[in-house]
């Protein structure tokens, strides 16, 4: 959510910097965490109460979005309903982070109000991306893949023995856990997407391209790959 132009004259933010607008969010039972997808990255939360460290204006956005896969866990389903309830009641029991306000002596000429600095603390998120275990060598029935602009996921469409199924991928980095054969299959096919979703869809393409070039796949030795392609040559220094 962007700050209105009328507010920008008075309010300035400090500390926490959001990585773009929130697009969707989900709960993954196998990983035991919540994921909030933004325009430029994904934040992961371990527990429902960790969302209290999230800025209030962003929790408002979450309450207006349907949590994906909340039905996979009783706790996540309850939390999704509770967040919507608290949003309607204006946060009676669940109170997200509110900023510290610092009033400056300067007065805005148009609004005649003191200028204010809003200081936000960074939310409590997981420091590492939880990598999901992916199916291996399942591309025999591959038909196409596309970016779903509603859920913000990449969707792989399969058909084998006249049975259709889909595999949904929320986090682009999870593609690094595919088998080498599956990586190459996706690399050979362009992802379909609507024009307005191009930036998000290309994130999946970039990861697949890197996986193909640097032979990154499930079971690959990350340390060996890093030393081979990315370690700086210090012998000349």
Q: What is the DSSP string of 67-95?
A: EETGGG-HHHHHHHHHHHHHHHTTSSS--
What's the rounded Cα separation, in Å, for the pair 220 and 68? 30
Global pTM reads 0.84
> Tokens representing 183?
């990586």
Residue 14 banded pLDDT, cuts 50, 70, 90: low
Token output for 134 = 């992916």
With the C-alpha atoms ordered 161, 165, 171, 172, is the resulting torsion angle positive or negative? positive
The predicted structure's pLDDT at residue 236? 47
Query: What does the block give as tokens for 51?
Result: 């969302």
**Mean pLDDT for the chain overall:** 88
What distance in Å separates the CA atoms of residue 71 and residue 188, rounded to the nearest whole number? 35
Any idea which of 106-115, 116-125, 192-201 has the lowest mean pLDDT?
106-115
Query: Computed from CA positions of residues 102, 106, 109, 114, in that sequence, does the dihedral angle turn out positive or negative?
Result: positive
Closest by CA to 82, choosing from 102, 104, 98, 59, is 59
9: pLDDT strictly greater than 80: no
Better pLDDT: 119 or 183: 183
Q: What strands lie across the sheet with 153-160, from one edge to the other?
A: 142-148, 153-160, 163-169
Classify residue 202 by its DSSP letter.
H
Q: Which of 64, 16, 18 is nearest to 38 (CA)?
A: 18
Cα–Cα distance measured from residue 152 to residue 140, given in angstroms and rounded to the nearest whole number: 25
* Integer Cα distance of 114 and 83 in angstroms: 34
The pLDDT tens digits of the residues spanning 140-197 come to 899 999 999 999 999 999 999 999 999 999 999 999 999 999 999 999 999 999 999 9
Cα radius of gyration rounded to whole Å, the chain: 22
SS3 118: strand
């Amino acid at each position: 959510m962007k700050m209105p132009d009328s507010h920008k004259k008075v309010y300035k933010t400090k500390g926490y910097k959001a990585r773009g607008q929130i697009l969707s969010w989900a709960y993954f039972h196998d990983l035991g965490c919540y994921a909030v997808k933004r325009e430029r990255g994904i934040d992961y939360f371990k527990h429902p109460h960790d969302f209290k460290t999230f800025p209030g204006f962003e929790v408002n956005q979450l309450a207006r979005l349907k949590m994906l896969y909340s039905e996979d866990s009783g706790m996540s389903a309850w939390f999704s309903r509770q967040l919507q309830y608290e949003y309607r009641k204006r946060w009676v029991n669940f109170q997200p982070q509110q900023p510290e306000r610092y009033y400056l002596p300067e007065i805005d000429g148009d609004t005649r109000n003191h200028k204010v600095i809003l200081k936000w603390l960074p939310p409590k998120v997981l420091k590492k991306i939880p990598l999901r275990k992916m199916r291996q060598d399942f591309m025999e029935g591959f038909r196409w893949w596309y970016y779903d602009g509603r859920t913000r996921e990449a969707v792989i469409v399969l058909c084998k023995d006249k049975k259709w199924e889909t595999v949904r991928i929320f986090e682009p980095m999870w593609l690094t856990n595919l088998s080498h054969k599956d990586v190459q299959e996706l690399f050979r096919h362009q992802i379909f997407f609507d024009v307005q979703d191009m930036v998000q869809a290309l994130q999946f393409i970039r990861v697949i391209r890197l996986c193909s070039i640097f032979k990154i796949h499930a079971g690959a030795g990350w340390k060996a790959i890093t030393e081979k392609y990315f370690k700086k040559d210090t012998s000349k220094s």
